[in-house]
Structure 1
Amino acid sequence: MNRRNSSRQNYQCVPESAERIILNVGGIKYETYRSTLTAYPSTLLGTMFQERNRALLHPVNGNEYFIDRDSKLFRYILQFYRRNKIVWPEPGSDYVSREELEEEFDYFQIPISYFSNDSNELPTQPVKISPITKIVSKKLDDFISVLQHSIIEVCATLSETNLQRFSAILTLTFAHENLISNGITSVVLKPKNDHLTKMLLKSLLPFGKLGYFLLDQYGEEIGKHLHKNIPEVTWELNHKIYGPTEKFYDIILNINYQFNRDDVLINSSLNFKE
């Protein structure tokens, strides 16, 4: 008798994290459980409905949340949370296209790149990353940031005298860690500017001993990233070996800017609606 009562009590006790919620998407209401969404904490909805963010939410009628997105596309989003897989529309469908869905998955931070051709399933639990790995990853990000900052400093200086067009070549040389003490051997800027060159060298010194290794491992990816963020810059990476320990990496950054009236206007304070 006691066992039966205990079982009934456990069944009736619904965890707070699994409470039922209503998602009003573009006027269409979808009903699900909070736990269905929080099972994927790296996604937008998974983060949004975490217990720690409860105070930031403003439900209507106690458990209804409005989301200003396309309701017909959201059906596929919710299917992912319920089935742990992406269900694509039939090819040639007039109702919804794959391109629309890919944009929607991107908005909801569902990483479709994780899905292989053989399986549409995404592991529920995110991969745990070591704190030490995070330290190294941050070093890489900081290195990329200082390279990008160097480019911006050069452009800011050149734009002081000419807004119509300007160009420059910035060459950074990093030596193998065992060759010299500070790692970075030279910063060369054309057109010449001694004051700016000294500033750039100072900002790059903290990465002198790390630069060679990071370029050896991620040079191609860094170049693509910089060009994507700053299209006016092209990246060339040269590896020079003169002996067992005499190894260098040259980064050659070609900067070519041409004034575009519309682009400048769009990014200025003049671009506003009455």
Structure 2
Amino acid sequence: PADGRPIVELRGAGKSYGNVRALHGVDLQVFPSQVTCVLGDNGAGKSTLIKIISGLHQHSEGEFLVDGRPVRFTTPRQALDRGIATVYQDLATVPLMPVWRNFFLGSEMTRGPWPVRRLDIERMKKTADEELRAMGIILDDLEQPIGTLSGGQRQCVAIARAVYFGARVLILDEPTAALGVKQSGVVLKYIAAARDRGLGVIFITHNPHHAYMVGDHFSVLRLGTLELSAARSEIGLEELTNHMAGGAELAALKHELATVRGVDVEELPEEEDLTAPVPASSEGTS
């Protein structure tokens, strides 16, 4: 980054729910024009991390800084006001409403004198079309219900919407989890486009192959703690995948399976032999 200062930073951040420690001692930095990938299996702490940064929950330990200043958001609105936007896995859209209407949902353009201001439909349609095209998203008909778009297209509309409304940091919660290969590629393309427009992107995923295609920095969470933090230049896809695969867990599973009849544990790989195939499609980074 040009100024060397992250937009968002966590220092030893943690969150406890009663006696349950969901997150502990996590450090994270999000810079403009970079994609920071946060990886981990279910229960690793990814959702808790999102909730802290997006203002849904408050951290109970450590520091949370925005533009170098400590913050403690009490509502998602406060996070939005600081330029932190979140696109959740289930997407906050109204399926039967047109694309342009969903683009401005909750922030509609109006015209005319108060108190009889009306929706400025034509300006909203024009602006939505321009913003989508600026991100490289070409839709034939903005009047079509957003529910008729593919999952990848809906994710891309949500990304363009966040960019238009002034997001500086974009949090994407498992955007490719329910998508096929082609639609995942579409979403990854627009993640790279958001980065190229200067946003700091937090890409939450359990798929190291998708992460490595667009990521600049990788943080792997395991059981609420930070297991790995590495820049792209410091780690390869195979090593990243091995951190995700959990060699220690595989060794423990192998030990348990040794007591089960019909399972030949000698055919299972050892922890040090655990490697992951690199798909032929993972060429390039955008």
Which one has a larger percent helix, Structure 1 or Structure 2? 1
Of structures 1 and 2, the one with the larger relative CO (CA 8 A, separation 6+) is 2
TM-score tier (shorter): under 0.3
The alignment's TM-score, normalised by the length of structure 1, stands at 0.22
